[in-house]
Amino acid sequence: MKSIIVTPGKKGSVRLEDIAEPVPSANEALLKPVRVGFDRTDLDINDGMYGTPPPGSESLVVAHECLATIASVDGGSTGLSVGDYVVPTVRRPDGCLNCRSGESDMCTEGNYEEHGIKELNGFASELAVSDASFLVKIPDDLIDVAVLLEPMSIAEKGVTQIYRIQQRMVWQPKRALVLGAGPLGLLTTFLLRIKGFEVYTVATRSKDSLKARLVAESGATYVNADEQHLDNLGTFDVVMEDTGVVGVALEGLKLLKPNGIICMLGIYGSKQASVDVGSVFTGMVLGNKTLFGSVNANKSYFESGLKDFSALQERYPGLLPKMITTRLGLSGYQQAYQPSKEDVKTVIEFR
């Protein structure tokens, strides 16, 4: 079967190859991928920055964002049937307390596996396997947008964690700042909009770019940071940092209101920052402010993402599908690794 694979650790190794079909074990479903999406993680893996092949293999099938149909499954335990549309979650648990409690996204040991990233093949393949208990069934009316569910699960986790942390006091948030307008920044923007926030979303594209227009369509305000300084935007109850840029993250921290909270979702390059850290810390103390990091998402966040996709489709019809800007066939995979600046989400279609 045709699969897109990389040799982890080897820069630019992505290629299309025929590999052996996977054989599902007793608890696994055999999947026929319909559509896979690509994000920064996939690009980083092809740049040799990280990624681990399955034990005994030198190559790794890529892609962790996937919509598939079920080709075979033991339906008794899962309620799933052949032909169902599903999205697999990415991470599989190790034996730590959090993993055993359904919170593999909060793993303390780091011995988890991740499809398309760490020790488990991804889904850019004519056939794939997944533990059937980590498949999320997709209703018919969300099939077109379900390939966006994995990035949505990251936004869901961040926002859910914010509300849980903020139970520490009486809190009625109104204004949110989203730093970054890639797929995660856009989905975070839309999610905060349906939760009733006044949202400002910051990136460096022009105001007539697709990203800016999608932000505006959701009723949020798009800010081009090349034209407007963030100091002029006022202060915020919630900041979602999706850029991975140290200077931008520090700016976001400074824009928190008293009792405000910033969620860090980026991967930050090594940087010796020359800022007055003392006044940043004092500002956090005197304002009861919180900074926290959030990574990955367990199945519950995929499920809440589906509910919010339904709400978004109803409130802003056509908005989510516009995020899928490039559709490639399997043989066009190289273009997925060279996205243009105007691309939002690139997918590969299997049929």
Question: Are the C-beta atoms of residues 58 and 5 closer than 8 Å to each other?
Answer: no
246 binds Zn ion (CB under 5 A): no
Helix/strand number for the chain, H first, E second: 10, 19
| By the rule CB under 5 A, 253 interacts with Zn ion | no
Nearer to Zn ion, 94 or 303 (CB): 94
Q: Is 280 exposed, middle or buried (0-12, 13-18, 19+ CB in 10 A)?
A: middle
The least CB distance from residue 139 to Zn ion, in Å, is 30
By CB under 5 A, is residue 44 in contact with Zn ion?
A: no
Q: Is 128 an interacting residue with respect to Zn ion (CB under 5 A)?
A: no
CB 115 within 8 A of CB 122: yes
Q: Give the residue, chosen from 94, 103, 126, 144, that forms a contact with Zn ion under the rule CB under 5 A.
A: 94
Of the pair 4, 99, the CB lying nearest Zn ion is at 99
CA-closest candidate to residue 243, choices 253, 256, 234, 228: 253
Considering only 107, 127, 176, 261, the residue that binds Zn ion (CB under 5 A) is: 107
How near is the Cβ of 159 to Zn ion at its closest, in Å?
A: 23
User: Which segment (40-48, 52-60, 87-95, 225-233) binds Zn ion by CB under 5 A?
Assistant: 87-95
CB of 27 to Zn ion, least distance (A): 18
Count of residues in contact with Zn ion, rule CB under 5 A: 5
**Applying CB under 5 A, does 97 fall inside the site for Zn ion?**
no
Tell me the closest approach of the beta carbon of residue 296 to Zn ion, in angstroms. 11
Residue 115 vs 205, nearer CB to Zn ion: 115
Of the ranges 78-86, 89-97, 136-144, 228-236, which one interacts with Zn ion (CB under 5 A)?
89-97
Among 58, 109, 141, 314, binds Zn ion (CB under 5 A): 109
- Closer to Zn ion at the Cβ: 94 or 198? 94
Site residues (CB under 5 A) for Zn ion, limited to 161-180: none
- For residues 205 and 145, the answer to whether their CB atoms sit within 8 Å is no
* Listed ranges 103-111, 163-171, 263-271, 332-340: which one lies at the site for Zn ion (CB under 5 A): 103-111
Identify which of residues 96 and 284 has a Cβ nearer to Zn ion in the complex: 96
The first and second tokens of residue 17, run together, are 């190859």
Q: In the complex with Zn ion, which residue's Cβ is closer, 67 or 107? A: 107
Determine if 99 is a binding residue for Zn ion (CB under 5 A).
yes
Task: Tell me whether residue 35 or residue 91 sits nearer to Zn ion (CB atom).
Answer: 91
Q: How far is the CB of 97 from Zn ion (least distance, A)?
A: 8
96 binds Zn ion (CB under 5 A): yes
Question: Can you give the binding site for Zn ion, defined by CB under 5 A?
Answer: 94, 96, 99, 107, 109
